[in-house]
Structure 1
């Protein structure tokens, strides 16, 4: 059974056409959407993290609130930009949110994408070490984060503490058992997918790859997934890894659906330039149920992944997004054998 989740960028805009005109609207609606999605049988509720933008930015208070209102749905990120993170403080936040959720957190992290400001991480107090760049810094932060999630003691205790310490070196608290195995890396290339496997992280791949070989997006992404799985096997990890891909999928079942997404029925891959290099963007899937089933059957990466994250138009409001998710879970997924 393939897991299906939604992924929200959490946009807001003070436009009369937007259902999310403020940050407060987005935060409350994201919680409500997670509750409604769980009732529909959706498996995951994921949020994107962007700084200096009218989008969701600080995920852990939101994830904790979602956890307190739900009981079974996975809660995650796609992705947290590790250039901006203090990995020790992040481990404490993540541990608290995971314990509130009773072990349902699935955290996607990465080196991040082009941001709203130049070198935004510098405003957060982080500067790459001499001889390294921002991508190196993101990986260094991630390595520390993964290490402290193991739960091993590393800090020398005060001989005269305010409160009695357990014996030995101290670890960060609260510790969330098993969270280390639920960390995903957002990989944009096949080489990065290989590195992800070597680190023992799950693979999170989106609708954008920062490389292009001329083959259709879904085939290039399927190659990336196979590289990841081969590298995982070579590394000798004992557990079975997870792989997610993201897609924009819009069933057209009403006139309103057609008004919003009718033009997307002719969508195709796009090739562009990102960070000075070629990048390939996946197409949007929009159409009648039978058309979506036919097209998704031909998507090699969707077939290879165990988890599909559906990017949603959050500014259209909770009710409309639950309508989209219900169509996919109750009509599209069973026809594809996912339910």
Structure 2
């Protein structure tokens, strides 16, 4: 590896039963707490709307911040098409303060999924006027970084008003991440001083090899970032170590990977989205394959994605193996 692994993280979708949602949310909080106990550096949650996955990551991470003390807490990612940047900036700063400066918000742009079907509920009066471009990210960055939000401030009777978003959390602006899958998004994130989240999906613009494409995104990001080669990048592939798995779990994991593998053969759809393979096997086997991955060799942070539909016991086994077996095999000390 050209870069020793410095930060070990994981990502969960936080699934729950629509008829009884509390156990699923509690499971997510327990998994994050376990991650801290196992020595993970970061825990990340996905974001889902009108589905049976975490719809309010800030609420979940606020709760997680009170059950943990060290582990960094991130979102991968919040789709800004569903958000008001000013209100979101308030929530981000509040959770960052509650966590003691451990929040790592990841965001992305674009219209909400199935926008034609949800816009009447989401933006009944402004659906056709909403701006889903990078300007939406820029607004959020400005608010989080303490830029002026209004020209009004001062005392009014018994109330005191600020001209910036409150609370203001120093340092949060440097922990903002952009979840990108294209050369354009990589360049934009770099030019605007963000950190860069890569995942198991990329846009096949200039090649058809996943690792080669992801490497080009990382290099483009760093070429346009003020910090250059030191700019932070986190890679989020699906890895499923089986060191301590039961035979039943191994069969389940292999069937899951086999079902998902055909989509990795070629770019999908008009946007030419290319999916990474899932990595399943012993930690030594996975480590060997990752060491050969061109993009992995360029990062020193990972947020390995937990499979969507597994059980709590499966996540416990996977995280335990990642922390105790795979992490050390990838060169992470401690």
- TM score, norm. by length of structure 1: 0.86
Query: How far apart are the structure 1 equivalents of 2:113 and 2:96?
Result: 27
1:320 to 306, 314, 317: 314
Partner of 1:123: 121
Matches within 5 A, 1:260-271: 260-263=252-255, 264=257, 267=261, 269-271=264-266
User: CA 1:109 to 1:329, structure 2 compared with 1: closer, same or farther past 3 Å?
Assistant: same
Asked if 2 retains the 8 angstrom alpha-carbon contact of 1:12 and 1:315, the reply is no
Partner of 1:7: 11
Query: How far apart are the structure 2 equivalents of 1:96 and 1:250?
Result: 34
| 2:212 equivalent to 1:222 | no
Q: CA deviation at 1:212?
A: 4.5
Query: How far apart are the structure 2 equivalents of 1:164 and 1:237?
Result: 41
Asked if 2 retains the 8 angstrom alpha-carbon contact of 1:209 and 1:281, the reply is yes
Q: Secondary structure of 1:5's match? A: strand
Q: CA deviation at 1:54?
A: 1.4
User: CA 1:300 to 1:251, structure 2 compared with 1: closer, same or farther past 3 Å?
Assistant: same
- TM score, norm. by length of structure 2: 0.88
Matches within 5 A, 1:63-102: 63-102=61-100
Partner of 1:252: 242
Partner of 1:187: 180
Q: CA deviation at 1:137?
A: 1.9
Query: How far apart are the structure 2 equivalents of 1:204 and 1:12?
Result: 25
Q: CA deviation at 1:179?
A: 0.6
Two-structure CA RMSD over aligned residues (Å): 2.5
Matches within 5 A, 1:275-286: 276-286=270-280
Q: CA deviation at 1:3?
A: 1.3
What CA deviation, in whole Å up to 9, does each residue of 1:177-231 have, x standing for no partner?
Answer: 1111111111111121011111111111110112254432112101110111111
Q: How many residues align?
A: 322
Partner of 1:199: 192
What CA deviation, in whole Å up to 9, does each residue of 1:256-292 have, x standing for no partner?
Answer: 3312123437957332434x32111000000123221
Which shows bigger deviation, 96-105 or 106-115?
106-115
Which shows bigger deviation, 2-11 or 105-114?
105-114
Q: CA deviation at 1:322?
A: 2.0
1:111 to 86, 109, 112: 109
Query: How far apart are the structure 2 equivalents of 1:63 and 1:162?
Result: 35
